[in-house]
Chain A
Amino acid sequence: GENVEQHPSTLSVQEGDSAVIKCTYSDSASNYFPWYKQELGKRPQLIIDIRSNVGEKKDQRIAVTLNKTAKHFSLHITETQPEDSAVYFCAAVADQGGKLIFGQGTELSVKP
């Protein structure tokens, strides 16, 4: 089955710096890769997603890149702000079984 590894588990950056979170997946059939942001005590919310037919996708300060050959995908946040502080989860969906498998999460802290 699919396994998703996420690194780092914690990340601290200064306001205005960039943050990068990386995930690897094991199932080469995986074809959908969402990222969720979860603020403390709140529900996870989708911030961006990418499908396997696309290599990169951007939405304002957030971008996601996908390398199918290496089976990894990354979240890039530029010009970080304190309100970006949260736990970020990557996930992958394989065609077989159609399950959404989450990474372990990255706690991002943006210091003013």
Chain B
Amino acid sequence: DAMVIQNPRYQVTQFGKPVTLSCSQTLNHNVMYWYQQKSSQAPKLLFHYYDKDFNNEADTPDNFQSRRPNTSFCFLDIRSPGLGDAAMYLCATSSRGVRAPLHFGNGTRLTVT
């Protein structure tokens, strides 16, 4: 019944070792977002896709990349994870951009050792 699915639920990677987080959706929403959420903080937008158009936030580090091969899937690539990248990564979708409800996935908790 899950509509926004993130895999894996927990991910452990080593310092500097590339890692990819995935998100899929069955809602057929045209907008997909990646948020980073650290403990006791609000979600922070990293980037989003409006259809195939990629929109990067100005303060998102170059270390973070994203791919959206089709409507249903979106990936977050962290090229060289640092200890400061340990966080919960949330994928969200929307049918009409930010002025419509966001549907979040359950998140991937990333640990960097």
Contacts and interface: CB of A to CB of B under 8 A. Distances in A.
- B-side interface size class: 10 to 19
A46 B107 contact: no
A44 B45 CA distance: 14
Contact of B104 (A31, A44, A103, A104): A44
5 contacts: A43-B104, A45-B104, A46-B101, A46-B102, A100-B102
Contacts of A58: none
A102 B101 contact: no
Q: Would you call the interface of chain A mostly helix, strand, loop, or mixed?
A: strand
Interface residues on A, range: 10 to 19
Contacts, number: 40
B105 interface: yes
A99 interface: yes
A61 interface: no
Given A98-B99, A100-B98, A89 B104 contact: no
Closest 3 CB pairs of A and B: A102-B42, A43-B104, A100-B98
Nearest to A43: B104
A54 to B, nearest CB: 14
